[in-house]
Structure 1
Amino acid sequence: MNFLDLFAGAGGLSEGFLRAGFQPIAHIERDAYACKTLETRSIYYYLKRNNALHFYRNYQSTYNSPAIEREQRRTELLEAVPVNQLEPIMNIEISENTLPLIFQRIDERLVHLPDNQIDVIIGGPPCQAYSLVGRARDENSMEDDPRNYLYKLYVRFLTRYQPKAFVFENVPGILTAFKGTLFKNLQAYMKRVGYNIEARQLNAKDFGILQNRKRIIIVGWRKDLEFRYPEIPVQDTDHIVNDLLIDLPPISSGIAHRGIGYRLPNSLLLKNMKIRDDDDIVTHHIARSHTQRDLDIYKVVVEKWNEEEMRIKYTDLPKKLITHQNLTSFLDRFKVIAGNEKYSHTIVAHISKDGHHYIHPDIKQNRSITVREAARIQSFPDNYFFEGPRTANFVQIGNAVPPLMAEKLAFWFKIQLDEL
């Protein structure tokens, strides 16, 4: 079975379908760094199938190396994979103007399939326009944002290719955008082109992920097919977030982990979550540099949480540390990851702006979390290599569907489609 990946991002949703055995028709994504990440992931899968992961490890190990060395290793990496073995990735924005070209390229791919059929379409348009925080920060509540209507372009793919089923993912704010009329219109569009649909709010923590992350997952299936919404048993955990981070080498503000080794041996939790293999190496473990004032604030925030499990509002900080003029909104701007609880708060793309909302729970390290730590909280495996600068890495991670959640949804799809 195959799938078409729209608004693909760094590939969190597609990673789940790949693990379930689906083959990609194409990944379509406008961000160049995310596309490069998708390409690197495609290379990983090819090399793994052909017992040649040493090429991949060599490339991973240059993460902290000078750019010229990294480019040389990437050239070697690309040379190890036949071009026709890479997953098709379209670095293009989905719009009315680009649809003809995108359809043409997909059609060219479908010609080579036995039934010229797409089995599943997956993806979710950028969520900033539906985000409650985004609407609160915009003077027009994002009503003028053209991204509000990207769902119509998603439906154009349903209309043209009539897949057996689809997954549409977005933030809970999509339910209330335009006082609920946008979501009603979205559902009407999908039903009009021939699909039964069901929308539910799912939480990543119910899928064995150590993160409290609520998302709206719309599942649709053609009206001529017997299908039903995924029913996946809730999976609780006996672990805490610290268990997810403890094996990574301790570093301080502004410090990069220069080696590739771990602090501790692999754990059952990391193995079960498919985060770490025994032959994995550490990458993307570089701490942001912070000002002394921020570091002082971090200490106050972490101490208060670790000792009393109390969240501090910005206005509760010592007066000498308060410098912002806004003292009425976003007062939780400094927030520690709750290492002693089962679930972290939600990782979002704003982590790319600063790390104040994602402070490491170990006060001795006194810093915000690294790209690798954010990736783990999202259930990305350590062998997932994010391309581009750190800011781009954080955006890719914050916008993604957790791969472990996606995998469980994908296996449900596989079971249902096998029965058709």
Structure 2
Amino acid sequence: MTKSIHLVDLFAGPGGLGEGFSSIRRPDGSRQFKTLVSVEKDPAAHRTLTLRAFYRLLHDSGMSMSAYYDYLQGGEHPSKRTDVQHLWKLASEEALCIELGSEAGNRCLEERLRRELAGCEDWVLIGGPPCQAYSVVGRVRNRGNKHYRPEEDKRHFLYREYLDVIAKFRPAAFVMENVRGMLTSRIGQKRIFGQILEDLHDPTKATGHEAPKCLTGSMEGYTIFSLEDDRVYFPRTTGLFDTPSPLEEGEYNSFVIKAEEHGIPQARHRVILVGVRNDIVRCAGAPTIATNLRMPTTGDDEKLAVEQVLAELPPLRSGLSRQDSDQTWYAAIKRVATKVANELLCHPSEYLTTTDRERIAAELRIIAQTPREGLKRHHEPIAVSRPVGPTTELEKWYHGAINPNSKGLWYNHEARSHMEEDLARYLYCATFSKVMGYSPTGTKEIYLDYLAPMHANWKSGKFADRFKVVLKDHPSKTITSHISKDGHYFIHYDPEQCRSLTVREAARLQTFPDDYYFEGNRTEQYTQVGNAVPPLLARRIAIKVQEVLDKKKETRIKEPSPT
């Protein structure tokens, strides 16, 4: 039996990329990719990463999963249980809480990789260097700071920590993820993305680090491939030793993966670069590898909608920031629903017809008169039997290692508390979306004075997207780390629940399995989910990377042995 392919995960967050790669099994049941080390500096995300490493080790050991699920339901931490302490120790060695870019963090990682990767050629590097300096929102914020200098912002260059690992240890392939803003970010007049491509293509030139002498073709660089367009890769040359021709800036968008086109219930658009070492490229040919890596897309009628992945979760009510109870919440809902309905009927709008206002008001009156009974704020994970286990690929993916004859084990599913003023806005926006089929826009359609937030610039037009509903009939908008700040941009489509998304709902839209537990407080959990790569998308990428590495093995087998 061949060994699993070593996986190194940098800037891992809670482990979305690693989860996707680790999910691929070989015919004998073993993992195709096995994480050697993962690195994350945030303590809460690191705890999540370690716990999931333990989950995989426990699952692969053949032991009962009770040590994991007991902990999730309030039991003893796995590190305290004598029966699984050896597995927790291995998980703790796999997940490192260090800061890349710091002297101590870089030294710790390099020592570990030199020890673990000695003589290993065919391993894979994955990760997403922090993106605050590249994101559009981050750049707008930086422009407001007169003292900001892009060339002095070290976050622009954190990809070089990733690059250093490539230069020193030369993986067979790497996958680097970042925000779309990376394509347009500039230092001076030069787009940084072109420089990133050049650096990844020739790590020795970019860093001065030679490849390990044990590696065949030690001077080999990389070809960087698009997963969307097999005509786009860098460098495009007629031979390995030709001067690479730069890509046109218009071709940069070919490196953007649109998650909703690959079976993910979310319109998440991210830059994904796949680099393949040139000794492998030379054997198969760049055009062949480009074709192998191109990911098939789904048609518009096959895209997953929000309701398809959230409808199964138990409905919850939001909480009240002050004096919350079932009675006070229901009283508040009746009060704001009646108030908004009356205001709608009394105040015309140049953007809404009388008929539309009447339809929205009618829905609000129904909620005020007969609110849904029995809603809880927090789902208690308790296993109940199900007559039929998960059948579709997606159902099995979400179910994880949970007993297929059970359901009800949903974790991190608790609603936030909101001020009564926000309940009114959420209720109106969700009801508007239910009636109109789209989310209302700023002061044009959220026009009532009663709904206006206490913000001096509300009517300036700068906050048109401050309140947005996650529509049930479409893929979700991008789940971002901003969801940790407030729920205004992620309002649940069901007005009767009158709330923002829970951590579990956001995690489902990110395609994390239901037994993927997020450590930390709720704000930290939201941040982890928002920063992650969707694991199911990562799995689809991993399958493509595996195909390329399999072709390398086939080429080796066909090569004649030396006489």
Which deviates more from structure 2 when the two are superposed, residues 131-140 or residues 290-299? 131-140
Match of 2:466 in 1: 333
Equivalent pair of 1:168/1:219 in contact (CA under 8 Å): yes
Task: Determine whether 1:137 maps to 2:141.
Answer: yes
Deviation of 1:166 (Å): 0.6
Match of 2:367 in 1: none
Match of 1:223 in 2: 278
Residue identity in the other structure for 2:309: L
SS at 1:419's partner residue? helix
Equivalent-residue separation in structure 2 for 1:301 and 1:223 (angstroms): 53
Match of 2:108 in 1: 101
Which deviates more from structure 2 when the two are superposed, residues 197-206 or residues 374-383? 197-206
Residue identity in the other structure for 1:290: H
Cα distance change of structure 1 residues 314 and 142 upon mapping to structure 2, 3 Å threshold: farther
Match of 1:320 in 2: 450
Equivalent-residue separation in structure 1 for 2:425 and 2:95 (angstroms): 43
Equivalent-residue separation in structure 2 for 1:35 and 1:369 (angstroms): 23
Q: CA-atom RMSD, angstroms?
A: 2.2
SS at 1:379's partner residue? coil
Equivalent-residue separation in structure 1 for 2:9 and 2:135 (angstroms): 22
Deviation of 1:259 (Å): 4.1
Task: Determine whether 1:88 maps to 2:94.
Answer: yes
Cα distance change of structure 1 residues 198 and 304 upon mapping to structure 2, 3 Å threshold: same
TM-score (norm 1): 0.91
Which deviates more from structure 2 when the two are superposed, residues 231-240 or residues 267-276? 267-276
Residue identity in the other structure for 2:546: K
Match of 2:344 in 1: none
Residue identity in the other structure for 2:503: V
Residue identity in the other structure for 2:296: P
Alignment partner of 1:196 out of 218, 223, 228: 223
The correspondence of residues 215-364 of structure 1 with structure 2, limited to 5 A, is 215-226=270-281, 228-229=289-290, 230-236=293-299, 237=302, 239-254=304-319, 255-261=377-383, 268=391, 271-272=394-395, 274-276=397-399, 277=402, 278=404, 279=406, 281-316=409-444, 317=446, 318-322=448-452, 323-327=454-458, 328-341=461-474, 343-364=475-496
| 1:260-286 C-alpha deviation (Å, 9 max, x unpaired) | 357987665574460125345111010
Equivalent pair of 1:38/1:89 in contact (CA under 8 Å): yes
Equivalent-residue separation in structure 1 for 2:163 and 2:471 (angstroms): 39
Match of 1:66 in 2: none
RCO comparison, higher one (Cα < 8 Å, 6+): 1
Q: Which runs of 5+ in 1 are unaligned?
A: 63-69
Residue identity in the other structure for 1:405: L
Match of 2:51 in 1: 40
SS at 1:153's partner residue? helix
Residue identity in the other structure for 1:359: I
Task: Determine whether 1:383 maps to 2:393.
Answer: no
Equivalent-residue separation in structure 2 for 1:78 and 1:275 (angstroms): 30
Q: Which runs of 5+ in 2 are unaligned?
A: 25-31, 204-220, 227-254, 320-376, 553-563
| 1:5-40 C-alpha deviation (Å, 9 max, x unpaired) | 110110000111111220112101111111111111
Which deviates more from structure 2 when the two are superposed, residues 137-146 or residues 13-22? 137-146
Equivalent-residue separation in structure 1 for 2:172 and 2:304 (angstroms): 38
Equivalent-residue separation in structure 1 for 2:167 and 2:527 (angstroms): 30
Deviation of 1:3 (Å): 1.4
Aligned length: 408
Deviation of 1:205 (Å): 1.1
Alignment partner of 1:417 out of 549, 558, 563: 549
Cα distance change of structure 1 residues 142 and 22 upon mapping to structure 2, 3 Å threshold: farther
Equivalent pair of 1:207/1:404 in contact (CA under 8 Å): no
Equivalent pair of 1:165/1:219 in contact (CA under 8 Å): yes
Equivalent-residue separation in structure 1 for 2:480 and 2:385 (angstroms): 27
Cα distance change of structure 1 residues 5 and 376 upon mapping to structure 2, 3 Å threshold: same
SS at 2:418's partner residue? coil
Cα distance change of structure 1 residues 298 and 263 upon mapping to structure 2, 3 Å threshold: farther
Cα distance change of structure 1 residues 271 and 191 upon mapping to structure 2, 3 Å threshold: closer
Cα distance change of structure 1 residues 242 and 257 upon mapping to structure 2, 3 Å threshold: same
Which deviates more from structure 2 when the two are superposed, residues 77-86 or residues 141-150? 77-86
Equivalent pair of 1:56/1:77 in contact (CA under 8 Å): no
Equivalent pair of 1:273/1:379 in contact (CA under 8 Å): no
Equivalent-residue separation in structure 1 for 2:390 and 2:156 (angstroms): 43
SS at 1:252's partner residue? coil
Deviation of 1:156 (Å): 0.6
Equivalent-residue separation in structure 2 for 1:331 and 1:267 (angstroms): 41
Task: Determine whether 1:367 maps to 2:499.
Answer: yes
Equivalent-residue separation in structure 2 for 1:161 and 1:300 (angstroms): 55
Deviation of 1:118 (Å): 5.5
Equivalent pair of 1:46/1:81 in contact (CA under 8 Å): no
Deviation of 1:415 (Å): 1.5
- When Rg is computed on C-alpha atoms for both structures, the one with the higher figure is 2
Equivalent-residue separation in structure 1 for 2:383 and 2:306 (angstroms): 21
Q: Quick one: percent identity of the two aligned structures?
A: 36
TM-score (norm 2): 0.69
Task: Determine whether 1:121 maps to 2:125.
Answer: yes
Residue identity in the other structure for 1:116: C
